[in-house]
Amino acid sequence: MEITEIIFAYGHRNIQATHKSTLEITKENELSKKGDCIIAVSANKGVADLNPEFKGNLCNENAKMTMLIEAGGIVEVVNAFGSRRLILAHPTDIVVRKSSYVCSRTLSIKADKAAWDLSRKLAERLKDPKQKVKITLTVEV
């Protein structure tokens, strides 16, 4: 069974996309240079806003999640996993982690990419505040 969730966000002039173990999308519209894991801002959803059925399927040890990031004609795919330990309650943030660490902001764990692993071409596009970003999340159990 597959369930899809779509999130829209925007780029920001301070996007670094250099964090080596996480990537983050936030509903916040401001970003300092310290937020090196953030790849998009002004998102229309945080983890708490995701569909209950999507979250229910993600909170399964067999859950596989695919994140499709589309911006300015560039598409990047991140593969990760769900867990029964996920909390999925943060009102503004969505974090994908390479590690198994879980907090209220964590969407998925054991990802094959973090912000640093995204193409530099995509990272450049994400520095444009006018750049609309489409993030498609698909969970499969």
What's the pLDDT at 70?
Answer: 98
The stretch 5-32 carries a mean pLDDT of: 96
The stretch 125-129 carries a mean pLDDT of: 97
Report the Cα 137 to chain-centroid distance in Å: 8
- Assess contact for 139 and 63: CB atoms under 8 A: yes
SS3 state of residue 12: coil
How many beta carbons lie within 10 A of that of residue 83, not counting itself? 17
How many beta carbons lie within 10 A of that of residue 34, not counting itself? 9
Give the tens place of pLDDT for each residue, 21-45: 999 999 999 998 888 999 999 999 9
Count of structural domains within the chain? 1
- Distance from C-alpha of 110 to C-alpha of 133, rounded to nearest angstrom: 23
CATH number of the domain to which 80 belongs: 2.60.120.630
Please choose, from the candidates 13, 17, 18, 16, the residue with its C-alpha nearest in 3D space to the C-alpha of residue 29: 13
Range of the domain at 117: 2-140
1 falls in which pLDDT band (50, 70, 90)? confident
The stretch 10-28 carries a mean pLDDT of: 97
Which DSSP state fits 36?
Answer: T
What's the pLDDT at 33?
Answer: 83
Burial of residue 74 (CB within 10 Å: 0-12, 13-18, 19+) is middle
| Contacting residues for 141 by C-beta, under 8 A, at least 6 apart | 1, 57, 60, 62, 63, 64
